[in-house]
Structure 1
C-alpha cells in the first residue's frame, strides 16, 4: 500500500473514532437541552404546562386552525387556603396534582391543552367544537369536585372551583385578550360564590376590587377597573 493510501486510511479511521468518541457528548448535550426546554414550559409540581407552555400551545392551535375559535377557561379553586391549613401543604400539593390531572384529561379529550398558572389557578385552551360553553364549564366543575383521596387521610377531600370562560378568535393575543377575558369572567364567577362559572360577554369588566380575592401579577400588567377587553 502506498504512503498516500496509508495516510488517507489513517485519517479516515481517526475521523470515525473521533465521531464515535464525540457522539456520547453530543447526545448528552442534546438531552440536557431538551430537558431545559421542557422545564421552561412545564410546572415542576404537576408536570402540566406552565404559562409559557400554554402560550406555546395557543400559538400551535392558532397556526393549525387559524379560522377556528378557541375556548379559554380559567379555573381557580375555592378556599384552597383552608385545605392547606387543614391538611398541610404536602397534602395540598397532592390535591393540586390530582386536580391538574383531571383538568389535563378534560382538555386532551377536547383536543386542547391545560396548564397550572400559579398556586391553585389553572387554565385550559380548547378548540371550539361546540358553542355550549355552559356544558364545558359544568364538565370542569363536576370533574374537579369529585372526592379526592389524599395520602394518610381516612375521608376523601372535596374541592370546588370557580370557572371563567371566554370564546375568542384563534388570532387574538394570548395574554392581553384570550386569558384576560377568561380572567374577567372568573372573577365574576367568584363574586357569585363557590362552585360557580361565568362566561365572558362583550363589554364585561373586572368587578370592583372589594369583590375580588386580590391582585395577581397579570392584574398589575393589565387595566382592571373600568377596563374592557
Structure 2
C-alpha cells in the first residue's frame, strides 16, 4: 500500500474511533439539554406546564389559528394555606399534584392544555368547542372539590379542597397575560367575592372587585405596573 493510502486509511480509522468515543458524550449532552428545556417549561411538583410553558403554547396557537378565539380558565384554590400548615408542605404538594392532574385531564378532554402558574393557582387554555362556558367552568369546580386521598403519619384520610374559577373568551391574537388571562383573573375574583367554590364568567365591562375583596396584586400585575412606570 502506498504512503498516501496508508495516511488516508489511518485518518479514517482515527475519525471512526473518535466518533465512537464522542457518541455517548453527544447522546448524554442531548439528553441533558432536553431535560433542561423540559424543566424550563414545566412545574416540578405537578409535572404540568408552568407559566412559561403555557405562554409558549399560546404563542403557537396564535400563529397557527390567529382568527380563532380561545377559552382561558383561571383556577385559584380556596384557603389552601391551612393545608400546608396542618399537613406539611410535602402533603400539600401531593394535594397540588392530585388536583393538577384533574385540571389537566379536563383540559385534555376538551382539546386544550393546563398549567400550574404558581402556588395554588392553575390555568387552562382551550379551543372553543362549546358556547356554554358556565357548564365548562362548573366541571372544573365540581371535579376539584372531589375529596383527595391523603396519607398523614401513616394514616389514610380524605381532604376536600375547593376552588374559585374564572373563565373568559379571548381572540387568539390577544396578548395572553395582559388580556386573556387578565379577563379570567377578573372573573375568578368575582367568584371569590360571591362565596368561593364556584365560577364566574367574564363579561365585557366587568371590573376587578374592590381591593378589600382581593388578596392583593398578583406577581404578573405588579410586573405590568412596574413596566408601565419604568
Cα deviation for residue 162 of structure 1 reads 0.2
Match of 2:208 among 200, 206, 209: 206
How much is the aligned-residue C-alpha RMSD, in angstroms? Answer: 1.3
1:1-229 correspondence runs (5 A)? 1-152=1-152, 153-222=155-224
Cα deviation for residue 62 of structure 1 reads 2.2
CA distance in 1, matches of 2:39, 2:91: 23
Q: Provide the TM-score with structure 2 as the length reference.
A: 0.93
Cα deviation for residue 90 of structure 1 reads 1.9
CA distance in 1, matches of 2:56, 2:151: 34
Greater strand content: 2
Greater CA deviation, 192-201 or 97-106? 192-201
For residue 106 of structure 2, give the secondary structure of its aligned residue in structure 1: helix
Cα deviation for residue 168 of structure 1 reads 0.6
Cα deviation for residue 222 of structure 1 reads 4.0
Cα deviation for residue 38 of structure 1 reads 0.7
CA distance in 2, matches of 1:130, 1:222: 32
2:77–2:163 Cα contact (<8 Å) kept: yes
Greater CA deviation, 144-153 or 184-193? 144-153
What runs of 5+ residues in structure 2 fail to find an aligned partner? 226-230
Map of 2:228 onto structure 1: none
- Kindly provide the CA deviation profile for residues 170-220 of structure 1, in whole angstroms up to 9, marking residues without a partner as x: 111111111111111111111101211111111211111001022221121
> How many residues are aligned here?
223
CA distance in 1, matches of 2:212, 2:223: 19
2:151–2:157 Cα contact (<8 Å) kept: no
For residue 200 of structure 2, give the secondary structure of its aligned residue in structure 1: strand
What runs of 5+ residues in structure 1 fail to find an aligned partner? 224-229
CA distance in 1, matches of 2:11, 2:86: 70
Deviating 4+ runs (over 4 angstroms): none
CA distance in 1, matches of 2:156, 2:36: 39
For residue 157 of structure 2, give the secondary structure of its aligned residue in structure 1: coil
Cα deviation for residue 7 of structure 1 reads 1.1
For residue 191 of structure 2, give the secondary structure of its aligned residue in structure 1: helix
